[in-house]
Structure formats: structure tokens, C-alpha cells
Amino acid sequence: MSDGTPARPSISGSIPAGWYPDPAGSAGKRWWDGSVWTANMQEPEAAPAPPSFGNYTPANLRPAAPLPTVERGIAYTRASWWIAGSPFWVVVPQVSVVEIFNSLAPLPVPTLVLAIILLTTVAWGILLALAFSDRKGLFEGGNDSAASPWWTLLTPLAYLIARARSVQLYAIGGWASVVWWCLAAILTPGVSVLAVFAVYGLVAN
């Protein structure tokens, strides 16, 4: 037929007249008058609107938020490596200074404790300044977020772990500084002993 209808009905004439799926394969429905298909077509019904839940949107209907792109930022800064090596430059100098003064003139216990507290406070202030510098470097390097520098007050390791979890959203890496801090912490006692022997050697000479 010139209008595109099938030449013959595809269903028996015993079927009552009505709208049925188009035997020609279109998405709409065609009118069956009880004996033949007619040229009358019915457009497919529009999909129902998604249900409304007030301010709540079902998870399958929410727009997907783009995830941060890996390699958009940086994983390390110079300050982060100084923090990772802090067991060396915090503990070893303290042990060396205390041993030097103790070798030259034995210090009273209160003075010794006060000196250790003072050195530790200075070291913590330097660590905190490095953490703020590291955070600034990460933002300048393209990272959209960074760990709070105040994690350093717990321990440098706590800051490095929180930092690595944030960094991995924007760059590959971030955990090497954690591993390096752990290695430094393991090696620090041995290095401190060597420093003590070196101090005694210098004083003896």
C-alpha cells in the first residue's frame, strides 16, 4: 500500500477493532478496524515523569558528580619530605645537644627536663610551619583540598597519613612520605647512639 500499511492484516478478523502495536514495526499503534489495518496511527505515549519526593531525589535520578581527575595535582612538596624525615632532625640533634652539655658540666634533672621540653617545643613549631607550607604547596600544585596542618600536633605520622588520603584524590602517590617517616623512626635510635659516641669522642679530644 502507498501509505505504508501492510498489504494484508497480520491478525485474524475475529480480533475486535482497536489500537494495536503497528505490524510495520513503528513505535506507535495502528488502528485495526476489525478486518484490515487502517492508515490511522497513534503516537507512542510519553514516558511518565519521575516520581516526586519533595526535596529528596532518589540515587538513580541524581546527576553524577564528577570525581577529581587523577594526576591533576601533585603528590609531594619539599616541606612534606622534611616532615617525613623529622625523626632524624628532631631526635638526633636533641640527644646530641643534651649529651654535649651533660659531658661538659652535668646538668641537674630539672634543667635537663626543661631543656628537652624547650627543644621539643621548637621542633613542633617547625613541624607545624612545614605542614602549613606543605598545604600551600599542594593547593598551588592543583590539589583542591589538603589535610589540616593541625594533625601535626598529634604526631607527624598522623599528618602524613591524613595528607596521603587527601593527596590520592588528585595525584598518584602520597604514601611514600609515610613509609619514609616509618623507616626514619626505626633508624633514629641507632643514629642517636652513633651521635652520642661522636659527641663523647669530640669531648674526649
List, edge to edge, every strand of the sheet that includes 37-42: 18-21, 29-32, 37-42
Same domain, 110 and 57: no
Given this model, what pLDDT does residue 126 score? 95
Q: Are residues 86 and 56 in the same domain?
A: no
Q: Give SS3 for 204.
A: helix
What's residue 180's pLDDT? 95
- Same domain? For 61 and 82 the reply is no
Which structural domain, as residue segments, surrounds residue 21?
1-65
* CA gap 136, 164 in Å, rounded: 15
Residue 95 lies in a domain: yes
Residue 7 is predicted with a pLDDT of 44
Residue found under cell 598529634: 154
pLDDT value at residue 1: 42
- The tens-digit pLDDT sequence of the chain (205 residues) is 445 555 444 445 477 888 888 888 787 888 888 888 888 887 777 767 666 666 666 666 677 765 544 557 899 999 999 999 999 988 888 877 777 776 766 767 777 778 788 888 999 999 999 999 999 999 999 898 899 999 999 999 999 999 999 998 888 888 999 999 999 999 988 888 887 777 666 655 5
How many structural domains does the chain have?
2
48/94 same-domain check: no
Please give the Cα distance from 65 to 67 (Å, whole number): 6
Residue appearing with cell numbers 602517590: 173
Examine residue 182 and state whether it is found in any structural domain, yes or no: yes
pLDDT at residue number 94: 81
